Chains A and B, each alone.
Chain A
């Protein structure tokens, strides 16, 4: 790779940065390569000693604060032509509503999954209520000396619910931790979406 090819690649890769920063970087590497050539190193070797242009650019962009990248992005947006701006505004009823509805769908899917988890917990609560009801009613039936069999059935139902609700508790817990995991993943995904947009 020649020096000019190297600098050209670097310039293209750094296009997200402010022009002054790009020029500064190019000057720096230009000087570095020239100094090597002056020392007797072949141009091609000098370029490869300095490093890979794409890697260098990536590193510089990663070290640039996001605020600067965003600022630059907004600045470059300002250079939109009048036609583009008009189209953007005229089209806003379409793209804006599409974006909003897209987000609404995502949100509702997310909330309905949470609703399942909540209803599982509601079942658990009702089971515990069933335990209490079964035992209390069994006591009342026995105490008042009514049908003993009915009391036994109530007691059995209550005891069954004790076992069942313990098992069900673990199901609820697993569902909740699964949901928390999904939420974390989604948050990360949304964040990476924005980051990628800002870096490009």
Chain B
């Protein structure tokens, strides 16, 4: 897949992985993996970027005698997912345009 496109989709996947309840790094990877290829080294910069953009917040929780970071989606993050739904119609139009010759 095109790198730029994958980047945008990965952002959305991470956001939707924490949409219903807060989650932590390893759990996010396990949740997303069936749908899109992701590794620790890809997830880390995404989480940083989403945090910088105020799409999610981080809190550290003590778990089993060690620390674990939980990621919580913000209202802006939820809005980002909503926006994607409307963008999808545009993408479908673009898809139809790009593949129009094959359809004939």
We find that the number of chain A residues with CB closer than 8 angstroms to chain B is 18
Q: Mark B52-78, 1 if CB is under 8 A from A, else 0.
A: 000000000000101111000000000
* Number of cross-chain contacts by CB at 8 Å: 41
- Once the chains are docked, how many angstroms separate the CA of A61 from the CA of B58? 22
Q: Is the interface of B mostly helix, strand, loop or mixed?
A: helix
Q: Which of B8-16, B40-48, B80-88, B90-98 contacts A (4 or more CB under 8 A)?
A: B40-48
Q: Which residues of B contact A35 (CB under 8 A)?
A: 24-27, 68
Tell me whether A31 and B39 are in contact in the complex, defined as CB-CB below 8 angstroms, given that A36-B26, A60-B44 are known contacts.
Answer: no
Q: Which residues of A contact B27 (CB under 8 A)?
A: 35
Distance in angstroms from A29 CB to nearest chain B CB is 7
B40–A32 CB distance below 8 A: yes
Question: Interface of A with B (CB < 8 Å)?
Answer: 24-25, 27-29, 31-32, 34-36, 38, 50-51, 55-56, 59-60, 63
Residue contacts A-B, CB under 8 angstroms, 23 given: A24-B48, A25-B44, A27-B67, A27-B69, A28-B47, A28-B69, A31-B66, A31-B67, A31-B69, A32-B25, A32-B40, A35-B25, A35-B27, A35-B68, A36-B26, A51-B39, A51-B40, A51-B41, A55-B41, A59-B41, A59-B45, A60-B45, A63-B45
Please give 5 more A-B residue pairs, beta carbons under 8 A apart, in addition to A32-B40, A51-B39: A25-B44, A29-B40, A34-B66, A35-B24, A55-B41
